[in-house]
Structure 1
Amino acid sequence: MGPATAGPTEDTAGRAPAPRPATASARRNRRGSRAERLAPLVLLAPAILIIAGLRLWPLLLGINFSFTGDGARNGMNVGLDNYLTLLHDPLFRTALRNVGLLVLLLPVAVAIPGLLATFIFLKVPGHRLYRGVYFFPAVLSPVIVGAIFNLLLAFDGPLNALLGGLGIGPVDWLGNPDVAIFAVVGVHIWATFGMALVVFLAGFATLDSSVLDAAKVDGASLPQTIWHVIIPSLSRTIQFVFVTTMIGMLTSMFGLLYVMTGGGPAGSTYLPEYYVWIQQGQMNQPALASAASTALFLIMLVVGLGQIGILRRAGKED
């Protein structure tokens, strides 16, 4: 009688057999899954390299340059001297104060395109015409916008003539230090809210219409629908518009400032980006300008992260 053969699960010594080698199909599946995981990284690599080479590396160089001196101390390490100079410069403190004003006015700058996008989405009469009219200022050059509003807001311009007809005294829109910054910010909001409007309309395209229908059936008014339905549903879109609008206010108002006020009157309309240009282009202090640029970057980072945190908490509470 021949020797007994081992069972399918144990050998003659009672031990479990060694695991079988992976089949060719299993190896192919593993290679395929690994390729799928690496594919996004390969596709993103060129964009990442471009951002790192053209954005991050110059940013690091600028931060490093902000710790060097100007003039006789050119190239010397001066530590935090440039930042201390900024803190003691009245013009830079005015620029920081104006940044605080922009933060306070930011909800208005976001609410205007948000409400207009809501009316367009609800298809008020003439909504197709309004969509084109509202977006038109976004394609104009800031220099052209500034020149137009210089004429409209002149002391003897059309706006003051209209106010005079209503019995209201003329306002020195661009010559009064207490009014000029509000005038420039208002013009900037008018000139740029078209892009935010497009973003809001894209957000409305993802909105579930059944939710709006349910609110209408429940008898919700328009303000109630906006507050309790539309705003919570578009929380991600609102976050994006808040951050991009704030960045635009801090980095895209140079053209208007240059044309409309030149930083005046008495430096009252200075913003960090305009201060950077003055120090670099007119005062020939590139290291101090680099310190101001670094401060502007930190301001945008802190304000942006703070806005996202506040909006996320508000969304969770709703």
Structure 2
Amino acid sequence: MTSVRPVVAGRTDRARHQRPAPPGAAARRGRGARRSERLAPYVLLAPAVLIIVLLRLWPLLLGVNFSFTGDGDRDGTMVGLDNYRELLADPLFRGALRNVGLLVLLLPVAVAIPGLLATFIYLRVPGHRFYRSVYFFPAVLSPVIVGAIFNLLLAFDGPLNTVLGGVGIGPTDWLGDPDVAMFVVVGVHIWATFGMALVVFLAGFATLDASLLDAARVDGASLPQTIRHVIVPSLSRTIQFVFVTTMIGMLTSMFGLLYVMTSGGPEGSTYLPEYYIWIQQGQMNRPALASAASTVLFVVMLVVGLAQISLLRRGVREA
């Protein structure tokens, strides 16, 4: 006797209504998935790009456009390059640009100090625990506090000149001598800010291949040779980043020290573009001229930054 298998209700109906997928449907789904994968990075970056455009690039373009307008009676009137001609004719602004050149020359020193300290800490030379414990302390101080402290230390009758007088060296007017004041302010700025660069260098050392240092030690390489042929090429990206950020900090973050320590003096010898911009905007009520000076400062930072990156890359390749 033949047994009859029961039919599950609805199964034949579903089978009857199912149709084969049309030709090329799988290919279209694959192309759609690949298109979504390609668009995903742009969708994720879109909010950040929008914020940069609205809060950075658009105000920058407005400032550049404003630099071609006039001040005072010519407020809002297009004046062409008159503001830039006035800047080049102003001895204070020319002095500020010369000081920018001085900062560029002193920039390797500002980068070498935290770089060497980070190297000593990484190689665990004697005293590295002391450096690790105190290096970041100046970075948490306000520039106003730092300036006030060094005003007391560097006063003509202050502790530093007293110590120098005790060893037979005559007193120096550290903040009143036009030939010395700018170097003093830059030195104070380096002391107050090198902690951040040191943190970046230590982060770079965390990615350094320790086997390279071991190989250099086995080959009998000295510390200078190890730094030049192993550490510098391995940390080239970190060094480039520190160079650029340190330069930007020296050109745009020294206002507090300048205001407290020298107020641009003596004889305008410590003027920097950012201090000049504040004078024109805040005291002289000339926003268009200040915008022109800001545009010049931006161009200078861009050119110097690109030149530094190019030179550093060439130096790393030669090393």
Task: Give the drift of 1:35.
Answer: 2.1
Alpha-carbon separation, structure 1, partners of 2:242 and 2:109: 12
Q: Please state if 1:41 is matched with 2:39.
A: no
Tell which deviates more after alignment, 35-44 or 247-256: 35-44
1:58 paired residue number: 59
**Code of the aligned partner of 2:272:** L
1:173 paired residue number: 174
Q: Please state if 1:317 is matched with 2:318.
A: yes
TM-score normalized by the length of structure 1: 0.91
Task: Give the drift of 1:227.
Answer: 0.8
- Map 1:69-148 to 2 at 5 A: 69-148=70-149
Question: What is the RMSD computed on CA atoms of the aligned residues?
Answer: 1.2
Alpha-carbon separation, structure 2, partners of 1:42 and 1:139: 38
**Code of the aligned partner of 1:287:** A
1:12 paired residue number: none
1:5 paired residue number: none
**Cα deviation code 1:53-88 (max 9, x no counterpart):** 111111100000000011111111110000000000
Task: Give the drift of 1:29.
Answer: 3.4
Task: Give the drift of 1:23.
Answer: 4.6
Task: Give the drift of 1:130.
Answer: 1.5
**Code of the aligned partner of 1:185:** V
Task: Give the drift of 1:34.
Answer: 2.3
Q: Please state if 1:240 is matched with 2:241.
A: yes
Task: Give the drift of 1:32.
Answer: 2.7
- Map 1:184-195 to 2 at 5 A: 184-195=185-196
User: Equivalent residue of 2:176, what SS?
Assistant: coil
Sequence identity (%): 83
Task: Give the drift of 1:22.
Answer: 2.9
**Cα deviation code 1:2-50 (max 9, x no counterpart):** xxxxxxxxxxxxxxxxxx94352x4433333322222222222111111
2:24 paired residue number: 22
Alpha-carbon separation, structure 2, partners of 1:119 and 1:27: 59
TM-score normalized by the length of structure 2: 0.91
**Cα deviation code 1:176-216 (max 9, x no counterpart):** 01100000000000001101001111111111000000000
**Code of the aligned partner of 2:224:** P
**Code of the aligned partner of 1:288:** L
1:224 paired residue number: 225
**Cα deviation code 1:69-116 (max 9, x no counterpart):** 111111111100000000000000000000000000000000000000
**Code of the aligned partner of 1:258:** Y
**Cα deviation code 1:204-241 (max 9, x no counterpart):** 11110000000000000111101111011111111111
Alpha-carbon separation, structure 2, partners of 1:21 and 1:177: 84
User: Equivalent residue of 2:136, what SS?
Assistant: helix
**Code of the aligned partner of 2:307:** G
**Code of the aligned partner of 1:284:** N
User: Equivalent residue of 1:36, what SS?
Assistant: helix
Alpha-carbon separation, structure 2, partners of 1:31 and 1:75: 52
Alpha-carbon separation, structure 2, partners of 1:117 and 1:30: 50
Aligned residues: 298
Alpha-carbon separation, structure 2, partners of 1:73 and 1:306: 38
Alpha-carbon separation, structure 2, partners of 1:21 and 1:275: 71
Alpha-carbon separation, structure 1, partners of 2:178 and 2:287: 28
**Code of the aligned partner of 2:33:** G
Alpha-carbon separation, structure 1, partners of 2:153 and 2:29: 70
Alpha-carbon separation, structure 2, partners of 1:67 and 1:159: 48
